[in-house]
């Protein structure tokens, strides 16, 4: 049986009269716009953006194979994460469950919204335990956050496990697919029609190479999209961003993704050949997580060499680990050379 999303929504949001613009009522072809106190002097940006982002949604719908009504566009997926809290979680009453180690924003958004977050450590080889997650939930748990492929561990979780969790858990399940374009596993976006409690997050920030433009997606049941749209700032995506994103979307990303995946294999192989590297974790993303004998020393050496990577040494479950983003071939080559130079400097 399909779950009723409305029963999970905060009462103040369920009762909300959302902001509406006079232009929502405008259906004509031509018009003189004297409704929004804009400047009449055209410069490309004097008008407010479409708060419904109709044109961009139509383009994304065609690319993703998801109906426009199932697409929410946010100022980065970070906005979508925050909105999930604001729509579903009553501060100081409700709680959420998230996997750990994972993306830091779930915890930050929980703290900002004054909502308790319960972290469930991943198991052996960063595996997902549906039972452990369900055991951490109670009657006030509104949302479970999963991330697949996971940041910073790089692995994807089995599809059937994520779906079983969505079926057995009474609240919302957010599956953050920021790295899905680099993964062999298919997106869960095809499941949203059957499962109104699943919210799939994707982003333009990674494979689509638009981190600077701030565009993230939530792919979900129509009612969930409607709720998130009512709570967002009306003009969360600006005119300049929409037009640039539209142009870049048309170009596609196939060749870059193929190259990054090939370079990921090159980097992983090189790391596996280094004695100071204890473990190179398999990756479905555009980074490689590797465990070093002395991660802090390697990190400092790389910094001195002008290369910055992500030190995850102090993250529980990632002790000794650095997360290395796959860059251009020549950048990866410099990274590998630098690591080799470090290794030689330690063998005396």
Residues contributing to the site for ligand PLP (CB under 6 A): 76-78, 103, 147, 151, 176, 178, 203, 205-206, 211, 216
What gap in Å lies between CA 247 and CA 271, rounded to an integer? Answer: 37
- DSSP output for 28-48: -SS----SS---SS-SSSSSP
Closest residue by Cα to residue 233 from 72, 55, 78, 51 = 51
- Strand runs labelled E in 163-307: 172-176, 198-203, 216-219, 277-280, 287-292
CB of 217 to ligand PLP, least distance (A): 8
Q: What are phi and psi of 216, to 5 degrees?
A: -130, 160
Cβ proximity to ligand PLP, 104 vs 273, nearer residue = 104
CB of 5 to ligand PLP, least distance (A): 22
CB of 4 to ligand PLP, least distance (A): 28
Tell me the torsion sign for CA atoms 59, 62, 63, 64.
positive
Secondary structure (3-state) at 215: coil
Cβ proximity to ligand PLP, 322 vs 339, nearer residue = 322
Cβ proximity to ligand PLP, 95 vs 205, nearer residue = 205
CB of 143 to ligand PLP, least distance (A): 15
Residue of minimal CB distance from ligand PLP? 76
Cβ proximity to ligand PLP, 176 vs 181, nearer residue = 176
Cβ proximity to ligand PLP, 209 vs 303, nearer residue = 209
User: Angle 339-348-338 (CA atoms, 0-180°, nearest 5)?
Assistant: 10
Cβ proximity to ligand PLP, 115 vs 178, nearer residue = 178
Both tokens of residue 169?
A: 């858990």
CB of 216 to ligand PLP, least distance (A): 3
CB of 180 to ligand PLP, least distance (A): 10
User: Angle 72-152-89 (CA atoms, 0-180°, nearest 5)?
Assistant: 45
């Amino acid at each position: 049986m399909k779950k009723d999303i409305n029963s999970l929504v905060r009462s103040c949001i369920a009762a909300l009269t959302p902001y509406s613009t006079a232009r929502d009522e405008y259906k004509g072809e031509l018009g003189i716009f004297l409704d929004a106190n804009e400047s009449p002097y055209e410069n490309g940006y004097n008008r407010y953006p479409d708060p419904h982002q109709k044109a961009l949604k139509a383009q994304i719908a065609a690319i993703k194979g998801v109906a426009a009504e199932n697409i929410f566009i946010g100022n980065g997926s970070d906005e979508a994460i925050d909105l999930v809290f604001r729509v579903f979680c009553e501060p100081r009453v409700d709680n959420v469950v998230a996997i750990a180690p994972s993306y830091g924003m779930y915890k930050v958004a929980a703290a900002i919204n004054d909502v308790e977050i319960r972290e469930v450590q991943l198991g052996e080889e960063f595996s997902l335990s549906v039972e452990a997650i369900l055991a951490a939930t109670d009657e006030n748990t509104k949302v479970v956050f999963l991330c697949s492929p996971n940041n910073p561990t790089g692995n994807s979780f089995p599809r059937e496990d994520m779906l079983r969790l969505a079926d057995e858990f009474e609240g919302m399940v957010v599956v953050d697919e920021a790295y899905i374009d680099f993964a062999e596993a298919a997106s869960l976006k095809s499941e949203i029609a059957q499962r109104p409690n699943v919210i799939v997050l994707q982003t333009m920030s990674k494979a689509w190479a638009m981190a600077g433009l701030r565009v993230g997606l939530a792919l979900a049941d129509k009612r969930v999209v409607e709720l998130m749209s009512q709570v967002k700032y009306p003009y969360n995506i600006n005119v300049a961003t929409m037009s640039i994103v539209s142009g870049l979307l048309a170009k596609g990303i196939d060749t870059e993704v193929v190259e990054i995946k090939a370079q990921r294999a090159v980097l992983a192989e090189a790391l596996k050949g280094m004695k100071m590297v204890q473990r190179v974790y398999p990756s479905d993303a555009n980074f490689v997580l590797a465990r070093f004998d002395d991660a802090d020393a390697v990190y400092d050496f790389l910094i001195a060499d002008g290369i910055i990577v992500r030190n995850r040494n102090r993250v529980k479950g990632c002790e000794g680990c650095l997360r290395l983003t796959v860059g251009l071939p020549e950048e990866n080559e410099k990274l590998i050379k630098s690591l080799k130079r470090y290794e030689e400097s330690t063998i005396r």
